[in-house]
Amino acid sequence: MNARLFPWAAMALLVLVLAVRFALTTAVVAVPTDVMEPETPGGGPEIRLGPVDVRELHDDGSWNRLDADGAVYAYASRTVSAGGVTVHLGEGSPFAGTTVRAPRAVWDLDGKSIGLSGGGQVARNDGWRGELSAATLDLAGSVLRVPGPARIEGPGFSVHGKNLAWEWAEGKITMESTTSRISPVKGPGRKG
């Protein structure tokens, strides 16, 4: 071997030894700060994603869509954990137009539900809006459930309460311990 290659070979050996040493002594994996950590532990293989668009397609042609800034797909538990989430419900169906925004969400692909542990906001194209505490979207039953406090606003009124069940396909809202405020609204054919 050429004498001029000894320093380069020694440096390569040093780098190899340090890499093996650090690989054997640590279990920490560096993750970029813009990528989400999963909300549920459990280990197993994961796929880390940047901006995502996840769609659940139905036989009738309708679909639900989750858009997020970043996400982690846990292969073993079949969940998608995401941050900066917008969920579009029932697109392509007669009850389309419901949108949910949340800071974090976990979509259980087998259980067909989306957990919103940090709460969020819900809006319909027809003017209905809501502020939610921790909630669950039951995609199979087309129901948004909020066991804690929630506020719903529609044309001319607002309702505060708890234990909200919003069935977006049927247009039905139920809530317990409600406090309401009705505002006069000018409607078609009304004067004054």
| Spatial CA neighbour of 37 closest among 102, 87, 84, 81 | 81
Question: Sorting pLDDT into bands at 50, 70 and 90, what band is 104?
Answer: very high
Query: How high does pLDDT run on average in the chain?
Result: 78
What's the whole-number mean pLDDT along residues 97-123?
Answer: 89
Half-sphere exposure at residue 182, Cβ-oriented, CA atoms within 13 angstroms: 2
What's the whole-number mean pLDDT along residues 149-178?
Answer: 85
Between CA 65 and CA 57 the distance in angstroms is: 9
Query: Which tops the pLDDT comparison, 192 or 110?
Result: 110
Question: Domain spans of the chain?
Answer: 46-182
The token duo for 23 is 């690989």
Q: Could you tell me where the beta strands, DSSP code E, fall in 11-75?
A: 46-49, 52-57, 63-68, 70-74
Query: Which tops the pLDDT comparison, 20 or 167?
Result: 167
Fold classified for 46-182:
lipopolysaccharide transport protein A fold (2.60.450)
Mapped onto helix, strand or coil, the DSSP state of residue 3 is helix
Quick: pLDDT tens for 34-47: 444 444 445 678 88
